[in-house]
Amino acid sequence: MERTFAMIKPDGVRRGLTPEILARIARKGYRVVGLKQMVISRETAESHYGEHRERPFFGELVSFITGGPVVAIALEGENAIAGWRGMMGATNPANAAPGTIRADFATTTGENVTHGSDSSESAERELGLFFRPEELL
């Protein structure tokens, strides 16, 4: 069993996509072991996206991700890290496979509805950044 960190970004929450995305997660058979709607602090956002600090879009990315509530989700299941990234589709929705969340709902690379950890190291780091141990099943 593997755990990963998933997030519905502010554009997805604002557009009312939370129930649809949770339904897709349930259909896939993943167990939701942590869930909260929250506003991310600038400090958390800068830490979460630390690898992009030098990129030209970093300021825009931090403003976007802190600009409204997100839904933070801890998922558990077999191969959950790659499986959830597969459900999201490519970062740029123009390249996302049909039937993925980004192909179905996202319009731009900047506002692409969801996030998912890309490795077991980032999953562990991001779960720790967003959830205290006692908040998880």
Residues forming the annotated binding site for ATP? Answer: 9, 57, 85, 91, 102, 112
Q: Which residues contact 43 (CB under 8 A, 6 or more apart)?
A: none
115 part of the active site: yes
Residues from 34 through 93 that contact ligand ATP (CB under 6 A): 52, 57, 61, 91
Dump the DSSP string for 2-57.
EEEEEEE-HHHHHTT-HHHHHHHHHHHT-EEEEEEEEPPPHHHHHHHTGGGTTSTT
The yes or no reply on residue 12 touching ligand ATP (CB under 6 A) is no
**Catalytic position from the list 3, 24, 48, 115:** 115
Q: Which is nearer to ligand ATP, 83 or 116 (CB)?
A: 116
Q: What residue ranges bind ligand ATP (CB under 6 A)?
A: 52, 57, 61, 91, 109-110, 112, 115-116, 118
Q: Which residues are catalytic?
A: 115
